[in-house]
Each structure stands twice: as structure tokens, then as C-alpha cells.
Chains A and B, each alone.
Chain A
Amino acid sequence: EADIYQTPRYLVIGTGKKITLECSQTMGHDKMYWYQQDPGMELHLIHYSYGVNSTEKGDLSSESTVSRIRTEHFPLTLESARPSHTSQYLCASSEFRGGFGNTIYFGEGSWLTVV
């Protein structure tokens, strides 16, 4: 199991504001991910990281950016929030189980509403 902490859990902000969603994990996992999920809809991978100083864009194009300066920390930033950014953002990290791929564990999510 992984302990993954996301803050804030719920946020309402105005259009044009800059916002950073924080994500920290305490298990020393190298790989971390950000997913975006609208209510009742499927998960979309927007960013991932293999380790410190590694960041990659995911399958869904996103105007957000990420950084990975420390193993345990993977923040996501929106420079100028828009109503279209309203969604749930899920941070995750993964544990490598030998040859069987990575098992991903999720944080509790950050609900962002842009008004």
C-alpha cells in the first residue's frame, strides 16, 4: 500500500488564477502520475514521472505543468485556470512488482472548481 497525500482536497477559484495541486507520497516510489477524471467519466492520464527530474505528458493533452524535484513530491500547476479545468485530479504512485508491471495506488483526489 502507498500513502499518497493530496492538498487541497477541494478548491474553488476564479478564472485566471494560478493554482498548484500538491501531491506527496511516503513510500519512496519512483513513478508518479496525475490523472484527470470528470464525474462519472473515465480516467485520463495527463502527466507522469519516472523519477527525479523526469516528467512526461500523458495521453490527454493538458494545459497544466508538473515538476519532480524530490522523489516524494509531484506538484501540478495551472498557470491560468479556466472553467474547462473544473474536474477531479488524482495523483498516484506505483510500486514495481518484479516482472509483473507497476501497481498504481491513488491519492484521495483534488476537486477543482473554476468559476
Chain B
Amino acid sequence: QKEVEQNSGPLSVPEGAIASLNCTYSDRGSQSFFWYRQYSGKSPELIMFIYSNGDKEDGRFTAQLNKASQYVSLLIRDSQPSDSATYLCAATNFGNEKLTFGTGTRLTIIP
């Protein structure tokens, strides 16, 4: 079992709808969680991080964390074609110097 698991997709969402990306993790010691966006042929760029249970909003993006269920999600509201990319979920412990990445979910926004 991978430490961080994501559905590889592809996930197709109509433009303007809400895209929901999910991630589960196996290490209960994981404390901080990160979402990265990676366009084809480019390097990952940080979208947001979350470390407390509940929701964290930043513009059109909302990260949700449920430590009891070991589940992290990213919601993208009002999806745009420019949101089409692979989204990487990552986790780390406090003091752990390494980030463990999931395999990524490929998202396609359909105009």
C-alpha cells in the first residue's frame, strides 16, 4: 500500500462546475498536507497546504482534512480550462524532512 494514494484519473469536469480531488494517507503520524498542481512538462507548483482538521479556503480552492478518516481533498470551484493539470497530494510529519507524494490525479476541464 502506498503511503499517499490518489485516483490517477483522468477526471473530467465541465467548465464552471466543482472539481473534487481526493487523497488518502496511511501514516497516522502525518501532520501536514500539501496540494501541488503540475502542468504537462512543467514542475509542480504549490497550491495550498493544510494541517488542521476542517476546511481551508484560498480563492477558488478549498482543501479539506479529516485526520480520523485519513483523508484529504481539494475542491476547485468554478473550474476553468486552465485548471486542467495533474494534481499531486503530499504528506509530511512534523520534523520529517521529506514530503511523500501521491501519484497524482489528472484533471481535465471540458469547455
Contacts and interface: CB of A to CB of B under 8 A. Distances in A.
Chain A bound to chain B = yes
B99 interface: yes
Contacts, number: 57
B101 interface: yes
B39 to A, nearest CB: 11
A94 B32 CA distance: 14
Given A42-B103, A100-B31, A102-B92, A31 B97 contact: yes
Interface residues of A, number: 25
Contact of B96 (A90, A97, A101, A108): A101
Interface of A: 31, 33, 39, 41-43, 45, 48, 50, 58-59, 90, 94, 97, 99-109
12 contacts: A31-B97, A39-B41, A43-B101, A45-B99, A48-B98, A94-B99, A97-B49, A100-B51, A101-B51, A102-B97, A103-B46, A104-B34
